[in-house]
Chains A and B, each alone.
Chain A
Amino acid sequence: MSDSKRTGGRLELRGIAVSFPRGRDVLPVLDGVDVTVAPGEVVALIGPNGSGKSTLLRVAAGLLPPNAGTVTLDGERITEPTAGVGLVFQEPRLLPWRTVATNVAYPLELAGWPRPRRTARLAELLDLVKLTEWTGARPAQLSGGMRQRVALARALALEPRVLLLDEPFSALDALTRERLNLELLELWHATGTSALVVTHSIPEAILLADRVVVLSSRPGRVVAELPVDVPRPRTLATLDDAVVSPLARAIRERLEDAAA
Protein backbone atom coordinates (compact mmCIF):
# COMPACT_ATOMS: atom_id res chain seq x y z
CA MET A 1 0.00 0.00 0.00
CA SER A 2 2.87 2.37 0.68
CA ASP A 3 3.85 2.03 -2.98
CA SER A 4 0.53 3.40 -4.02
CA LYS A 5 0.94 6.37 -1.77
CA ARG A 6 4.10 7.26 -3.66
CA THR A 7 2.79 7.16 -7.23
CA GLY A 8 -0.56 8.75 -6.68
CA GLY A 9 -0.87 12.51 -6.96
CA ARG A 10 -2.60 15.00 -4.67
CA LEU A 11 -5.51 16.72 -6.36
CA GLU A 12 -6.93 19.82 -4.74
CA LEU A 13 -10.04 21.63 -5.93
CA ARG A 14 -10.52 24.89 -4.03
CA GLY A 15 -13.52 27.18 -4.26
CA ILE A 16 -14.61 25.95 -7.67
CA ALA A 17 -17.45 28.02 -9.02
CA VAL A 18 -18.88 27.59 -12.48
CA SER A 19 -21.82 29.29 -14.13
CA PHE A 20 -23.08 28.97 -17.68
CA PRO A 21 -24.73 31.82 -19.60
CA ARG A 22 -28.31 30.96 -20.41
CA GLY A 23 -29.73 33.61 -22.69
CA ARG A 24 -29.59 36.78 -20.70
CA ASP A 25 -29.39 34.95 -17.41
CA VAL A 26 -26.58 33.08 -15.82
CA LEU A 27 -27.02 29.55 -14.55
CA PRO A 28 -24.80 28.77 -11.59
CA VAL A 29 -23.79 25.13 -11.67
CA LEU A 30 -21.13 24.92 -8.99
CA ASP A 31 -20.94 27.26 -6.06
CA GLY A 32 -17.64 27.10 -4.20
CA VAL A 33 -16.75 23.42 -4.16
CA ASP A 34 -13.74 22.15 -2.20
CA VAL A 35 -12.61 18.59 -2.79
CA THR A 36 -9.23 17.06 -2.01
CA VAL A 37 -7.92 13.69 -3.17
CA ALA A 38 -4.91 12.62 -1.19
CA PRO A 39 -2.11 10.66 -2.94
CA GLY A 40 -3.34 7.14 -3.62
CA GLU A 41 -6.78 7.93 -2.29
CA VAL A 42 -10.04 7.05 -4.05
CA VAL A 43 -12.77 9.62 -3.58
CA ALA A 44 -16.32 9.00 -4.74
CA LEU A 45 -18.41 12.00 -5.76
CA ILE A 46 -22.12 11.47 -5.40
CA GLY A 47 -25.03 13.88 -5.87
CA PRO A 48 -28.46 14.34 -7.37
CA ASN A 49 -28.88 14.93 -11.05
CA GLY A 50 -27.83 18.34 -12.20
CA SER A 51 -25.53 18.88 -9.24
CA GLY A 52 -22.65 19.63 -11.59
CA LYS A 53 -20.64 16.46 -10.92
CA SER A 54 -19.56 16.09 -14.54
CA THR A 55 -18.81 19.79 -14.73
CA LEU A 56 -16.59 19.50 -11.67
CA LEU A 57 -14.72 16.64 -13.29
CA ARG A 58 -14.15 18.67 -16.44
CA VAL A 59 -12.78 21.53 -14.39
CA ALA A 60 -10.47 19.10 -12.60
CA ALA A 61 -9.32 17.76 -15.98
CA GLY A 62 -8.48 21.21 -17.23
CA LEU A 63 -11.13 21.05 -19.94
CA LEU A 64 -13.27 23.81 -18.49
CA PRO A 65 -11.88 26.92 -16.82
CA PRO A 66 -13.87 27.70 -13.66
CA ASN A 67 -15.31 31.13 -13.02
CA ALA A 68 -13.61 31.06 -9.66
CA GLY A 69 -11.36 28.71 -7.75
CA THR A 70 -8.22 26.72 -8.48
CA VAL A 71 -7.23 23.18 -9.34
CA THR A 72 -3.82 21.92 -8.34
CA LEU A 73 -2.08 18.61 -8.85
CA ASP A 74 0.78 18.14 -6.43
CA GLY A 75 0.93 21.88 -6.01
CA GLU A 76 0.93 22.77 -9.71
CA ARG A 77 -2.00 24.71 -11.11
CA ILE A 78 -4.07 22.90 -13.69
CA THR A 79 -5.54 25.24 -16.30
CA GLU A 80 -5.54 22.91 -19.31
CA PRO A 81 -5.38 19.17 -19.96
CA THR A 82 -2.18 17.56 -18.73
CA ALA A 83 -0.62 14.12 -18.84
CA GLY A 84 -0.79 13.91 -15.07
CA VAL A 85 -4.59 13.63 -15.21
CA GLY A 86 -6.28 10.66 -16.85
CA LEU A 87 -9.92 10.83 -17.88
CA VAL A 88 -12.52 8.08 -18.29
CA PHE A 89 -15.81 9.29 -19.73
CA GLN A 90 -19.24 7.79 -19.34
CA GLU A 91 -19.09 6.39 -22.87
CA PRO A 92 -15.95 4.62 -23.96
CA ARG A 93 -15.27 7.16 -26.72
CA LEU A 94 -13.17 4.79 -28.75
CA LEU A 95 -12.16 5.64 -32.32
CA PRO A 96 -14.32 3.16 -34.24
CA TRP A 97 -11.94 2.86 -37.14
CA ARG A 98 -8.99 1.88 -34.95
CA THR A 99 -8.14 -1.42 -33.32
CA VAL A 100 -8.00 -1.97 -29.59
CA ALA A 101 -4.24 -1.59 -29.74
CA THR A 102 -4.18 1.70 -31.62
CA ASN A 103 -7.00 3.03 -29.46
CA VAL A 104 -5.13 2.33 -26.27
CA ALA A 105 -1.96 3.75 -27.78
CA TYR A 106 -3.71 6.92 -28.93
CA PRO A 107 -2.43 9.15 -26.11
CA LEU A 108 1.10 7.83 -26.64
CA GLU A 109 0.82 8.61 -30.34
CA LEU A 110 -0.44 12.12 -29.68
CA ALA A 111 2.34 12.68 -27.18
CA GLY A 112 4.90 11.65 -29.77
CA TRP A 113 6.25 8.51 -28.17
CA PRO A 114 8.59 6.57 -30.45
CA ARG A 115 7.21 3.28 -31.67
CA PRO A 116 9.23 0.79 -29.61
CA ARG A 117 8.34 2.62 -26.42
CA ARG A 118 4.71 2.67 -27.49
CA THR A 119 4.67 -1.05 -28.18
CA ALA A 120 6.17 -1.85 -24.81
CA ARG A 121 3.76 0.34 -22.87
CA LEU A 122 0.85 -1.00 -24.91
CA ALA A 123 1.65 -4.55 -23.90
CA GLU A 124 1.71 -3.52 -20.23
CA LEU A 125 -1.63 -1.73 -20.50
CA LEU A 126 -3.43 -4.54 -22.32
CA ASP A 127 -2.15 -6.95 -19.74
CA LEU A 128 -3.44 -4.68 -16.99
CA VAL A 129 -7.00 -4.77 -18.33
CA LYS A 130 -6.72 -8.37 -19.53
CA LEU A 131 -7.34 -7.59 -23.19
CA THR A 132 -4.09 -8.90 -24.62
CA GLU A 133 -5.89 -11.36 -26.92
CA TRP A 134 -8.00 -8.60 -28.44
CA THR A 135 -5.30 -6.25 -29.71
CA GLY A 136 -6.47 -6.50 -33.30
CA ALA A 137 -10.18 -6.29 -32.65
CA ARG A 138 -12.30 -3.27 -33.54
CA PRO A 139 -14.63 -1.58 -31.06
CA ALA A 140 -17.63 -2.88 -32.99
CA GLN A 141 -16.56 -6.41 -32.15
CA LEU A 142 -16.37 -5.78 -28.41
CA SER A 143 -19.00 -5.85 -25.71
CA GLY A 144 -19.77 -2.68 -23.76
CA GLY A 145 -17.72 -3.84 -20.81
CA MET A 146 -14.69 -4.60 -22.94
CA ARG A 147 -14.89 -1.22 -24.56
CA GLN A 148 -14.79 0.52 -21.22
CA ARG A 149 -11.77 -1.55 -20.29
CA VAL A 150 -10.08 -0.28 -23.42
CA ALA A 151 -10.98 3.25 -22.38
CA LEU A 152 -9.55 2.56 -18.96
CA ALA A 153 -6.32 1.24 -20.40
CA ARG A 154 -6.11 4.32 -22.59
CA ALA A 155 -6.66 6.63 -19.65
CA LEU A 156 -3.74 4.96 -17.85
CA ALA A 157 -1.44 5.12 -20.88
CA LEU A 158 0.58 8.17 -19.88
CA GLU A 159 0.85 7.04 -16.23
CA PRO A 160 -1.37 9.72 -14.79
CA ARG A 161 -1.05 10.60 -11.16
CA VAL A 162 -4.79 10.98 -10.78
CA LEU A 163 -7.66 9.32 -12.64
CA LEU A 164 -10.98 11.08 -13.11
CA LEU A 165 -13.90 8.78 -13.86
CA ASP A 166 -17.32 10.05 -14.84
CA GLU A 167 -19.85 7.31 -14.01
CA PRO A 168 -17.65 4.93 -15.94
CA PHE A 169 -19.93 1.91 -15.77
CA SER A 170 -23.37 3.45 -15.66
CA ALA A 171 -24.15 2.42 -19.21
CA LEU A 172 -23.49 -1.25 -18.52
CA ASP A 173 -25.68 -3.97 -17.14
CA ALA A 174 -25.49 -4.59 -13.41
CA LEU A 175 -23.46 -7.79 -13.48
CA THR A 176 -20.85 -6.41 -15.83
CA ARG A 177 -20.74 -3.32 -13.71
CA GLU A 178 -19.96 -5.28 -10.59
CA ARG A 179 -17.21 -7.19 -12.30
CA LEU A 180 -15.66 -4.06 -13.73
CA ASN A 181 -15.76 -2.37 -10.35
CA LEU A 182 -13.69 -5.19 -8.97
CA GLU A 183 -11.27 -4.90 -11.86
CA LEU A 184 -11.01 -1.21 -11.13
CA LEU A 185 -10.07 -1.99 -7.58
CA GLU A 186 -7.36 -4.38 -8.78
CA LEU A 187 -6.10 -1.73 -11.15
CA TRP A 188 -5.78 0.78 -8.35
CA HIS A 189 -3.96 -1.73 -6.28
CA ALA A 190 -1.57 -2.30 -9.19
CA THR A 191 -0.96 1.28 -10.23
CA GLY A 192 -1.55 3.30 -7.09
CA THR A 193 -3.09 6.26 -8.90
CA SER A 194 -5.32 8.60 -6.98
CA ALA A 195 -8.88 8.66 -8.26
CA LEU A 196 -11.98 10.80 -8.25
CA VAL A 197 -15.02 8.78 -9.30
CA VAL A 198 -18.40 10.28 -10.07
CA THR A 199 -21.19 7.82 -9.39
CA HIS A 200 -24.91 7.55 -8.93
CA SER A 201 -24.76 4.33 -7.01
CA ILE A 202 -24.32 4.41 -3.25
CA PRO A 203 -23.14 0.78 -2.99
CA GLU A 204 -20.65 1.40 -5.76
CA ALA A 205 -19.34 4.47 -3.96
CA ILE A 206 -18.84 2.42 -0.81
CA LEU A 207 -17.18 -0.41 -2.74
CA LEU A 208 -14.70 1.80 -4.52
CA ALA A 209 -13.94 4.78 -2.34
CA ASP A 210 -11.95 5.74 0.72
CA ARG A 211 -14.16 8.78 1.13
CA VAL A 212 -17.56 9.74 -0.22
CA VAL A 213 -18.27 13.39 -1.00
CA VAL A 214 -21.91 14.37 -1.30
CA LEU A 215 -22.84 17.32 -3.51
CA SER A 216 -26.03 19.32 -3.27
CA SER A 217 -28.29 19.90 -6.23
CA ARG A 218 -27.67 22.91 -8.46
CA PRO A 219 -25.80 25.04 -7.64
CA GLY A 220 -23.55 22.23 -6.40
CA ARG A 221 -21.90 22.59 -3.00
CA VAL A 222 -20.25 19.99 -0.81
CA VAL A 223 -22.79 19.05 1.84
CA ALA A 224 -21.06 16.05 3.41
CA GLU A 225 -17.89 14.02 3.41
CA LEU A 226 -18.16 10.53 4.82
CA PRO A 227 -15.14 8.27 5.29
CA VAL A 228 -15.52 4.64 4.21
CA ASP A 229 -13.97 2.46 6.88
CA VAL A 230 -14.38 -0.83 5.03
CA PRO A 231 -10.96 -2.53 4.91
CA ARG A 232 -9.22 -3.34 1.65
CA PRO A 233 -9.05 -5.54 -0.34
CA ARG A 234 -12.78 -5.34 -0.96
CA THR A 235 -14.92 -7.98 -2.64
CA LEU A 236 -18.41 -8.43 -4.01
CA ALA A 237 -19.40 -9.40 -0.53
CA THR A 238 -18.44 -5.87 0.47
CA LEU A 239 -20.85 -4.65 -2.14
CA ASP A 240 -23.70 -6.77 -0.81
CA ASP A 241 -23.05 -5.62 2.71
CA ALA A 242 -22.75 -2.06 1.55
CA VAL A 243 -26.29 -1.99 0.27
CA VAL A 244 -27.79 -2.36 3.74
CA SER A 245 -24.98 -0.74 5.71
CA PRO A 246 -25.48 2.21 8.06
CA LEU A 247 -23.01 4.12 5.90
CA ALA A 248 -25.29 3.69 2.94
CA ARG A 249 -28.17 4.96 4.97
CA ALA A 250 -26.16 7.94 6.08
CA ILE A 251 -25.17 8.78 2.56
CA ARG A 252 -28.71 8.42 1.40
CA GLU A 253 -29.97 10.74 4.09
CA ARG A 254 -27.40 13.34 3.12
CA LEU A 255 -28.40 12.93 -0.52
CA GLU A 256 -32.04 13.45 0.24
CA ASP A 257 -31.23 16.54 2.24
CA ALA A 258 -29.11 17.81 -0.59
CA ALA A 259 -31.85 17.26 -3.12
CA ALA A 260 -34.37 19.13 -1.09
Chain B
Amino acid sequence: MTAITTRTSPRQPASATFVPVVAAFVVAVVAWKAIVVIGGYPPFILPAPETVATRLVKGWTDGTILPHFVATATEVALGLAVGAALALVAGYGLARSAFVERVVSPYLVAAQATPILALAPLLALWFGAGLLSKVVICALIVFFPVAVSTMVGVRSVDVGLLELARSLRATRRQILTTLEVPGALPSILGGMRVGVTLAVVGAIVGEWAGAERGLGVLINVARGSLFDIPLMFATLVTIAIFGIALYLVVVLVERRLLGPRQP
Protein backbone atom coordinates (compact mmCIF):
# COMPACT_ATOMS: atom_id res chain seq x y z
CA MET B 1 0.00 0.00 0.00
CA THR B 2 1.69 3.18 -1.14
CA ALA B 3 0.99 6.51 0.37
CA ILE B 4 0.12 9.59 -1.57
CA THR B 5 3.07 11.94 -1.25
CA THR B 6 2.46 14.63 1.27
CA ARG B 7 0.19 17.32 0.00
CA THR B 8 1.64 20.02 2.24
CA SER B 9 3.04 22.91 0.24
CA PRO B 10 6.80 22.67 0.51
CA ARG B 11 8.29 25.31 2.80
CA GLN B 12 9.57 27.98 0.53
CA PRO B 13 13.07 29.21 1.11
CA ALA B 14 13.07 32.31 3.29
CA SER B 15 14.34 34.42 0.42
CA ALA B 16 11.27 33.73 -1.66
CA THR B 17 9.00 35.68 0.69
CA PHE B 18 11.60 38.03 2.13
CA VAL B 19 12.67 39.69 -1.10
CA PRO B 20 9.18 40.65 -2.34
CA VAL B 21 8.24 42.00 1.09
CA VAL B 22 11.30 44.21 1.26
CA ALA B 23 10.81 45.29 -2.34
CA ALA B 24 7.21 46.28 -1.66
CA PHE B 25 8.31 48.29 1.35
CA VAL B 26 10.97 50.12 -0.67
CA VAL B 27 8.45 50.93 -3.38
CA ALA B 28 6.06 52.33 -0.78
CA VAL B 29 8.74 54.53 0.76
CA VAL B 30 9.86 55.79 -2.64
CA ALA B 31 6.28 56.60 -3.56
CA TRP B 32 5.88 58.50 -0.28
CA LYS B 33 9.03 60.50 -1.00
CA ALA B 34 7.84 61.20 -4.51
CA ILE B 35 4.53 62.52 -3.22
CA VAL B 36 6.32 64.84 -0.83
CA VAL B 37 8.70 66.15 -3.47
CA ILE B 38 6.20 66.50 -6.29
CA GLY B 39 3.49 67.92 -4.08
CA GLY B 40 5.96 70.21 -2.40
CA TYR B 41 4.54 69.43 1.01
CA PRO B 42 6.21 71.11 3.96
CA PRO B 43 7.23 68.92 6.88
CA PHE B 44 4.40 70.23 9.02
CA ILE B 45 1.88 68.79 6.55
CA LEU B 46 3.59 65.68 5.20
CA PRO B 47 7.12 64.99 6.36
CA ALA B 48 9.42 63.02 4.09
CA PRO B 49 10.16 59.40 5.00
CA GLU B 50 13.71 60.17 6.09
CA THR B 51 12.47 62.93 8.38
CA VAL B 52 10.03 60.54 10.00
CA ALA B 53 12.68 57.83 10.25
CA THR B 54 15.08 60.20 11.97
CA ARG B 55 12.41 61.42 14.35
CA LEU B 56 11.40 57.82 15.05
CA VAL B 57 14.90 56.84 16.07
CA LYS B 58 15.29 60.01 18.12
CA GLY B 59 11.92 59.52 19.77
CA TRP B 60 12.91 56.06 20.91
CA THR B 61 16.45 56.85 21.96
CA ASP B 62 15.57 59.97 23.93
CA GLY B 63 12.76 58.25 25.78
CA THR B 64 9.90 60.28 24.36
CA ILE B 65 7.96 57.39 22.89
CA LEU B 66 8.80 54.55 25.29
CA PRO B 67 6.58 55.41 28.30
CA HIS B 68 3.64 55.98 25.99
CA PHE B 69 4.32 52.75 24.17
CA VAL B 70 4.40 50.83 27.45
CA ALA B 71 1.06 52.34 28.45
CA THR B 72 -0.63 51.40 25.17
CA ALA B 73 0.97 47.96 25.08
CA THR B 74 -0.32 47.28 28.60
CA GLU B 75 -3.83 48.28 27.61
CA VAL B 76 -3.69 46.08 24.53
CA ALA B 77 -2.28 43.08 26.38
CA LEU B 78 -4.85 43.20 29.16
CA GLY B 79 -7.72 44.01 26.83
CA LEU B 80 -6.76 41.13 24.54
CA ALA B 81 -6.48 38.72 27.42
CA VAL B 82 -9.83 39.66 28.91
CA GLY B 83 -11.67 40.04 25.63
CA ALA B 84 -10.35 36.87 24.06
CA ALA B 85 -10.97 34.79 27.17
CA LEU B 86 -14.57 35.94 27.41
CA ALA B 87 -15.02 35.54 23.69
CA LEU B 88 -13.81 31.93 23.75
CA VAL B 89 -16.35 31.05 26.40
CA ALA B 90 -19.13 32.98 24.70
CA GLY B 91 -18.28 31.50 21.32
CA TYR B 92 -18.45 28.02 22.72
CA GLY B 93 -21.80 28.70 24.33
CA LEU B 94 -23.14 30.18 21.11
CA ALA B 95 -21.97 27.15 19.17
CA ARG B 96 -23.33 24.49 21.44
CA SER B 97 -26.58 26.04 22.64
CA ALA B 98 -29.27 27.16 20.22
CA PHE B 99 -30.95 28.90 23.13
CA VAL B 100 -27.86 30.94 23.94
CA GLU B 101 -27.45 31.87 20.33
CA ARG B 102 -31.02 33.02 19.93
CA VAL B 103 -30.95 35.07 23.11
CA VAL B 104 -27.45 36.55 22.97
CA SER B 105 -26.83 37.10 19.26
CA PRO B 106 -28.92 40.25 18.81
CA TYR B 107 -27.08 42.05 21.61
CA LEU B 108 -23.73 40.88 20.30
CA VAL B 109 -24.46 42.21 16.85
CA ALA B 110 -25.85 45.47 18.25
CA ALA B 111 -22.73 45.98 20.33
CA GLN B 112 -20.58 45.34 17.31
CA ALA B 113 -22.56 47.66 15.09
CA THR B 114 -22.23 50.59 17.50
CA PRO B 115 -19.07 52.40 16.53
CA ILE B 116 -16.40 52.20 19.17
CA LEU B 117 -15.66 55.84 18.55
CA ALA B 118 -19.10 56.69 19.90
CA LEU B 119 -18.91 54.32 22.85
CA ALA B 120 -15.43 55.33 23.97
CA PRO B 121 -16.34 58.62 25.66
CA LEU B 122 -19.20 56.91 27.48
CA LEU B 123 -16.89 54.21 28.72
CA ALA B 124 -14.36 56.82 29.83
CA LEU B 125 -17.15 58.48 31.76
CA TRP B 126 -18.14 55.27 33.53
CA PHE B 127 -14.75 53.73 34.08
CA GLY B 128 -12.59 56.79 34.47
CA ALA B 129 -9.64 57.96 32.42
CA GLY B 130 -7.25 55.31 33.67
CA LEU B 131 -6.24 51.86 32.52
CA LEU B 132 -9.64 50.27 33.16
CA SER B 133 -11.61 52.08 30.51
CA LYS B 134 -9.00 51.29 27.85
CA VAL B 135 -8.95 47.62 28.84
CA VAL B 136 -12.75 47.57 28.59
CA ILE B 137 -12.68 49.19 25.15
CA CYS B 138 -10.01 46.82 23.86
CA ALA B 139 -11.85 43.83 25.30
CA LEU B 140 -15.08 44.99 23.66
CA ILE B 141 -13.50 45.47 20.27
CA VAL B 142 -11.74 42.10 20.39
CA PHE B 143 -14.79 40.23 21.66
CA PHE B 144 -16.94 40.00 18.57
CA PRO B 145 -14.45 38.66 16.00
CA VAL B 146 -13.02 36.10 18.42
CA ALA B 147 -16.45 35.01 19.67
CA VAL B 148 -17.80 34.57 16.17
CA SER B 149 -14.72 32.74 14.93
CA THR B 150 -14.85 30.49 17.98
CA MET B 151 -18.51 29.75 17.35
CA VAL B 152 -17.89 28.98 13.71
CA GLY B 153 -14.88 26.87 14.56
CA VAL B 154 -16.61 24.81 17.21
CA ARG B 155 -19.55 24.24 14.91
CA SER B 156 -17.22 23.15 12.15
CA VAL B 157 -16.03 20.17 14.11
CA ASP B 158 -16.99 17.13 12.07
CA VAL B 159 -20.21 15.61 13.35
CA GLY B 160 -18.79 12.21 12.46
CA LEU B 161 -15.91 12.78 14.85
CA LEU B 162 -18.33 13.75 17.59
CA GLU B 163 -20.19 10.50 17.05
CA LEU B 164 -16.90 8.64 17.12
CA ALA B 165 -16.09 10.22 20.47
CA ARG B 166 -19.52 9.32 21.77
CA SER B 167 -19.04 5.75 20.66
CA LEU B 168 -15.80 5.72 22.65
CA ARG B 169 -17.62 7.03 25.74
CA ALA B 170 -15.73 10.31 25.83
CA THR B 171 -16.82 12.68 28.61
CA ARG B 172 -17.98 16.20 27.76
CA ARG B 173 -14.64 17.49 28.92
CA GLN B 174 -12.76 15.00 26.77
CA ILE B 175 -14.80 15.98 23.75
CA LEU B 176 -13.89 19.58 24.46
CA THR B 177 -10.18 19.01 24.85
CA THR B 178 -9.59 16.30 22.27
CA LEU B 179 -12.03 17.35 19.56
CA GLU B 180 -13.56 20.77 19.89
CA VAL B 181 -10.48 22.74 20.84
CA PRO B 182 -8.15 21.29 18.21
CA GLY B 183 -10.96 21.31 15.64
CA ALA B 184 -11.91 24.91 16.24
CA LEU B 185 -8.37 26.17 16.54
CA PRO B 186 -7.81 27.22 12.92
CA SER B 187 -10.92 29.35 13.00
CA ILE B 188 -10.19 30.75 16.44
CA LEU B 189 -6.69 31.77 15.42
CA GLY B 190 -8.12 33.40 12.33
CA GLY B 191 -10.35 35.44 14.61
CA MET B 192 -7.36 36.29 16.78
CA ARG B 193 -5.53 37.68 13.76
CA VAL B 194 -8.35 40.17 13.37
CA GLY B 195 -8.66 40.68 17.11
CA VAL B 196 -5.09 41.69 17.83
CA THR B 197 -5.06 44.40 15.20
CA LEU B 198 -8.42 45.70 16.36
CA ALA B 199 -7.19 45.76 19.94
CA VAL B 200 -4.54 48.30 18.97
CA VAL B 201 -7.21 50.45 17.35
CA GLY B 202 -9.34 50.12 20.47
CA ALA B 203 -6.52 51.22 22.74
CA ILE B 204 -5.82 54.32 20.68
CA VAL B 205 -9.49 55.26 20.42
CA GLY B 206 -9.88 54.70 24.15
CA GLU B 207 -6.96 57.00 24.81
CA TRP B 208 -8.51 59.69 22.68
CA ALA B 209 -11.55 59.62 24.90
CA GLY B 210 -9.36 60.51 27.83
CA ALA B 211 -5.97 59.26 28.99
CA GLU B 212 -2.83 60.48 30.66
CA ARG B 213 -0.39 58.40 28.69
CA GLY B 214 -0.30 56.29 25.57
CA LEU B 215 0.55 56.41 21.88
CA GLY B 216 -2.84 57.95 21.16
CA VAL B 217 -2.15 60.68 23.70
CA LEU B 218 1.26 61.21 22.17
CA ILE B 219 -0.29 61.70 18.75
CA ASN B 220 -2.48 64.47 20.15
CA VAL B 221 0.31 66.10 22.11
CA ALA B 222 2.70 65.99 19.17
CA ARG B 223 0.10 67.43 16.87
CA GLY B 224 -1.70 69.98 19.00
CA SER B 225 0.82 71.04 21.59
CA LEU B 226 4.31 70.46 20.29
CA PHE B 227 3.46 70.99 16.62
CA ASP B 228 5.98 68.26 16.00
CA ILE B 229 4.37 66.58 13.00
CA PRO B 230 7.36 64.31 12.32
CA LEU B 231 6.89 62.99 15.88
CA MET B 232 3.21 62.43 15.16
CA PHE B 233 4.09 60.41 12.08
CA ALA B 234 6.77 58.55 14.00
CA THR B 235 4.14 57.63 16.57
CA LEU B 236 1.84 56.41 13.82
CA VAL B 237 4.66 54.29 12.45
CA THR B 238 5.24 52.90 15.93
CA ILE B 239 1.57 51.98 16.21
CA ALA B 240 1.64 50.31 12.81
CA ILE B 241 4.74 48.30 13.66
CA PHE B 242 3.16 47.26 16.95
CA GLY B 243 0.05 46.02 15.16
CA ILE B 244 2.09 44.16 12.59
CA ALA B 245 4.20 42.56 15.31
CA LEU B 246 1.14 41.32 17.16
CA TYR B 247 -0.27 39.94 13.94
CA LEU B 248 2.95 38.11 13.20
CA VAL B 249 2.90 36.59 16.66
CA VAL B 250 -0.50 35.06 15.93
CA VAL B 251 0.73 33.80 12.58
CA LEU B 252 3.71 32.15 14.25
CA VAL B 253 1.53 30.60 16.93
CA GLU B 254 -0.76 29.37 14.19
CA ARG B 255 2.07 27.80 12.30
CA ARG B 256 3.37 26.14 15.40
CA LEU B 257 0.02 24.73 16.48
CA LEU B 258 -1.51 23.95 13.12
CA GLY B 259 1.39 23.57 10.70
CA PRO B 260 1.63 19.83 10.32
CA ARG B 261 -2.10 19.60 9.70
CA GLN B 262 -2.15 20.91 6.16
CA PRO B 263 -4.04 20.59 4.00
Contacts and interface: CB of A to CB of B under 8 A. Distances in A.
Interface of A: 61-63, 80-83, 87, 89, 91, 93, 95-97, 106-107, 109-111, 134, 137-138, 140-143, 145-146, 149, 176, 179
B178 A145 contact: no
A97 B157 CA distance: 12
B59 interface: no
A142 B3 contact: yes
A242 to B, nearest CB: 24
Nearest to B174: A110
B263 A140 contact: yes
A107 B178 CA distance: 11
A1 to B, nearest CB: 28
25 contacts: A62-B167, A63-B166, A80-B169, A81-B166, A81-B167, A82-B169, A87-B167, A89-B160, A89-B164, A93-B158, A93-B160, A93-B163, A95-B161, A97-B260, A97-B261, A107-B168, A110-B170, A110-B174, A138-B261, A140-B263, A141-B4, A141-B5, A141-B6, A143-B3, A176-B1
Contacts, number: 72
Interface string B1-36: 111111110000000000000000000000000000
Interface string B155-191: 0001011011111111000100011001100000000
A144 B1 CA distance: 10
Contacts of B169: 80-83, 110-111
B261 A81 contact: no
A107 B167 CA distance: 10
A-B CB proximity, top 3 nearest:
A93-B164, A81-B167, A97-B261
B262 interface: yes
B178 A96 contact: no
Contacts of B168: 81, 106-107, 110-111
Contacts of B1: 143, 145-146, 149, 176, 179
A220 to B, nearest CB: 21
B11 to A, nearest CB: 16
A138 B3 CA distance: 11
B187 to A, nearest CB: 13
Contacts of B178: 95, 106, 109-110
A229 to B, nearest CB: 32
Contacts of B174: 110
Contacts of A81: 166-169
Contacts of B165: 110
Nearest to A157: B168
Contacts of B6: 140-141
Given A81-B168, A145-B1, A140 B161 contact: no
A96 to B, nearest CB: 6
A91 B160 CA distance: 9
Given A89-B164, A91-B160, A146 B3 contact: yes
A179 B5 CA distance: 21
Nearest to A144: B4
A95 to B, nearest CB: 7
A143 B167 contact: no
A107 to B, nearest CB: 5
A91 B158 CA distance: 12
A62 to B, nearest CB: 8
A63 B5 CA distance: 36
Contacts of A82: 169
